[in-house]
Structure 1
Amino acid sequence: MQWNLRMRAAQAGIWKSTEMRRRLAEHGLEISAGKMSALWTGTPTTIRLDDLDVICVVLGCTPTDLLICEPDKVNARRPAQASTGAGPQPSPRLGRHTSVPPA
């Protein structure tokens, strides 16, 4: 995923993280300077959905405007398949209790 906060903020006329932080606070979301810096300069590893809602309201956008899918990166992470075309072999789940199939 690509985090697109700065571009969406620029489109909304917000050029500095301090301005974004102030607008978020006006909508009830108090963010520390450190957290705002992390959201502004990088891609967050996690974000609360409630926080995402407020960010979208402030920027007048939807989550799909902020989170851009990158399917090429997903394909690059996929392990190479054998030339036989067979997928990965499932491994047994040791130590787990299994239920009996219905009669």
Structure 2
Amino acid sequence: MRWNLRLAAANRGIWKASELQRMLAEHGLKISAGKMSGLWSGEPASIKLDDLNVICAVLGCGVEELLIPEPGKVRRVDDGQDKQVTAAVSGGPPVVPKRKDSRSLPPA
């Protein structure tokens, strides 16, 4: 996902993080200067859904304008798990789990 807060704010004439910070505070969301800097200039590590709701309300936008999907950046980890699930669902032979250290499992 790409975080798009700065562009969404600019499209509404908000050019400074401090201005948006003040507007958010007026709606009950008090954000520290450090957290606001992270939201404004980069990609936040996390954001609460309640905070995201207030940001959308203040900017008059939807989540889809703030969070832009980037499916090309998603990589698939192929560790064989998908094949086991497919076999079990399709009614194929039963899947017997194996330990990664090559030791045998205890008797059933």
Gaps of 5+ in 1: 80-86, 95-103
* Residues 42-87 of structure 1 deviation map (CA, whole Å, 9 limit, x = unaligned): 111110000000000011001111000001111xx235xxxxxxx6
Distance 1:93 1:20 in 2: 54
Partner of 1:42: 42
Partner of 1:22: 22
For 1:1-103, what aligned pairs fall within 5 Å after superposition?
1-74=1-74, 77-79=75-77, 88-90=79-81, 92=97
**Amino acid across the alignment from 1:25:** A
Gaps of 5+ in 2: 85-96, 100-108
Distance 2:45 2:98 in 1: 29
Identity percentage of aligned residues: 61
Determine helix, strand or coil for the equivalent of 2:43. Answer: coil
The structure having more radius of gyration, on CA atoms, is 2
Task: Provide TM-score, normalisation by structure 1.
Answer: 0.75
Task: Provide TM-score, normalisation by structure 2.
Answer: 0.72
User: Residues 93, 35 of structure 1: CA spacing in aligned structure 2 closer, same or farther, 3 A cutoff?
Assistant: farther
Determine helix, strand or coil for the equivalent of 1:47. Answer: coil
Partner of 1:100: none
User: Residues 11, 93 of structure 1: CA spacing in aligned structure 2 closer, same or farther, 3 A cutoff?
Assistant: farther
> What is the root-mean-square deviation in Å for CA atoms of aligned residues?
1.9
Matched residue count: 85
